[in-house]
Structure 1
Amino acid sequence: MEPKKKGMTLVAKQKAAGWLFLVPASAMIAIMSFFPMVKAFIISLQTGRGLNMHFAGFSNYVRMFQDKVFLRSVGNTFFYLIIQVPIMLVLAILLAQLLNNRDLKLRGFFRTCVFLPCATSLVSYALIFRFLFAQDGFINNALIGLGILDTGYNFLGNAMSAKFVIIIALVWRWTGYNMVFYLAGLQNIEYSVYEAAKIDGANGWKTFWSITVPLLKPTIIMTFIMSINGTLQLFDESVNLTNGGPANATITMSHYIYNSCFVRSPNFGYASAMSFFVFILVAILAFINMKVGDTRD
């Protein structure tokens, strides 16, 4: 009889190595992500201050849907989402298509120029736009110089124009970020596919809709989900550009949660309930996007 081999088999070693790499990462995700989610939900069911928190059921959630300022912040956030995200992603795809052209000179320079806004500090770029659109800022001075305006317009003091300033700022900063993903997707498409379409007589627009967009669909879905996630958690622009004004006309959900938690008398239970509501919104919209974009049988 042959003696039994001691030690682990190759398959067992591979499984052990897999668990060795998986466990630390899973533990960190559980500690840094899942535990705070559970803890936030528990706190959202409580009211009180500091150590005097007590169970209150779903009263914070009921209050949330009766809070006019919070409902307004939800409306503002979805206003930014509906207008800004499609504009930004369409621009990103078009710029990626343009800057993926093999015959374009200085492609690297132009790509860097488009991406640079993304590397700008969130606070810095918000303050720059605040100065640009001030009553005595560059935009007003340019419009007065062109004879379009007689006096400076208060862009940040008017509810609708302030919202559009935030949208312009978001598009300026995040278009290049999404363009990089589309560039990566385009560079994975075989150039022979475009050459075959050209031989078949397809023009640039038809090639774009029939070849580029379908092959970029996974990337489009990914950037759409990321953009929705980012917009629903929009904070810096609302705080630094308009401070939520005028009269809460531009305040976002994250900004209102911050105010409820740190600016006014701290109400962690109510802030946690609103945060959990944002989390559920992100999850639902991400699920819908994945289902709509899933073309598998």
Structure 2
Amino acid sequence: MIPAKANQNLQTTKSGRKIRVKNAAIGWSFVIIATVMICLFYFYPMVQALILSFQSGTGTNLTFTGIDNYARLFKDPTFITTVKNTVIYLVIQVPVMILLALFLSVLLNNKTLKLKGVFRTAIFLPCVTSLVAYSVIFKYLFGQDGIINIMLMKVSFISEPIQWLTDPFWAKIAIIIAITWRWTGYNMIFYLSALQNVDESIYEAAKIDGASSFQQFFKITIPMLKPIILFTSITSTIGTLQLFDEVMNITKGGPGNSTMTISQYIYNLSFKYTPDFGYAATVSYAIVIMIIIFSIIQFKVAGDKNE
């Protein structure tokens, strides 16, 4: 016979197991739909795209070709050009945007500044504008007879209109300006939110010790915002490597292919040129690989050494 105490412990164990199973079932009932949707609309297409990257052919008439598409990447002059263009946007625009967002967040976190709400809203508003709409507006602003050239000529900064959209160098500058205008406020909000959670006593103690505003910024503000800076740097890198709308609507990748990005090349391979979905999927996974590489580099450079 089972002792009464042992029988009671057994019943308690069974009861506890039933409660855990019930709680688990309730928990899964809340997340199961979202889990299925994520698997169906995220992971399944990713796996299918990976399988597709090992196939080649016209339209839907595809055959398995192994790693031929990946070998083709290194011999494709258009792909190499798009990578160079995208990296140029990345190494110039992202640091400028991050520094500008940091400066604006510190400036707008000043308690003595009046109309802070107005300035914050004005700087953040570009983030909620339509990508296509603002790109078209910038196309007209930087046109040969656009307001940018008119203003620069009126102040005698230039003697003749700059070919913003037809010169390879100036076309890249126009796109970088457009991207910076739209996304600086987005990153600024992250920094501003983090700054408002920093204890003011830290800055007060630094002032008592004689630290200048410059020293406070680099010795207190930057270290305190380090995780947010890393986060915004990675997200901005991912966004720039996937850049499409601005280039497509402002320059259409021209002149020639001098401003074309990797994402636009994927679009062209799929819908503009003779459809080559297998190679387009391969180029897509090239972006994935680049994102992983750049993210690892940023974690190593800016991450916590103790992690």
Structure 2 unaligned spans of 5+: none
Q: Does 1:238 align with 2:247?
A: yes
Aligned with 1:220 (options 226, 229, 245): 229
Give yes or no for the alignment of 1:110 onto 2:119: yes
The answer to whether the aligner puts 1:284 opposite 2:293 as a matched pair is yes
Tell me the TM-score normalised to structure 2 length: 0.92
Equivalent position to 1:252, from 256, 261, 264 = 261
Q: How many residue pairs get matched?
A: 297
Aligned to 1:163: 172
Look up the equivalent residue of 1:129 and give its one-letter code: F
The whole-number CA distance in structure 1 between the counterparts of 2:160 and 2:286 is: 43
Q: Does 1:207 align with 2:216?
A: yes
How do 1:65-84 and structure 2 match up within 5 A? 65-84=74-93
Q: Does 1:190 align with 2:174?
A: no
CA distance in 2, matches of 1:30, 1:277: 22
Which segment is superposed worse, 130-139 or 278-287? 278-287
Distance, in Å, in 2 between the alignment partners of 1:113 and 1:134 is 25
* Length-normalised TM-score, structure 1: 0.95
RMSD: 1.7
Hey, which bits of structure 1, 4+ residues long, moved more than 6 A?
none
Distance 2:86 2:238 in 1: 11
Counterpart position of 1:138? 147
1:127 counterpart residue number: 136
* Distance in 2 between residues matched to 1:132 and 1:222, nearest whole Å: 32
Counterpart residue identity of residue 112, structure 1: T
Indicate which of 263, 276, 293 corresponds to 2:272: 263
Counterparts of 1:33 and 1:185 in 2: how far apart (Å)? 31
User: What does residue 305 of structure 2 align with?
Assistant: 295
> Which residue identity is paired with 1:152?
P
Distance 2:47 2:68 in 1: 18
2: CA distance, partners of 1:51 / 1:95 = 50
CA distance in 1, matches of 2:226, 2:131: 29
Larger radius of gyration: 2
Q: Structure 1 residues 286, 26: CA separation in 2 closer, same or farther (over 3 Å shift)?
A: farther
Q: What SS does the aligned partner of 1:47 have?
A: strand
Residues 70 and 209 of structure 1: CA distance in aligned 2, closer, same or farther (over 3 Å)? same
C-alpha deviation, 1:131, in angstroms? 0.6
- Deviation at 1:119? 1.2
1:219-246, Cα deviation, whole Å (9 max, x unpaired): 0000000000000000011100100000
C-alpha separation in 2, matches of 1:291 and 1:17: 40
TM superposition shift of 1:188: 1.2
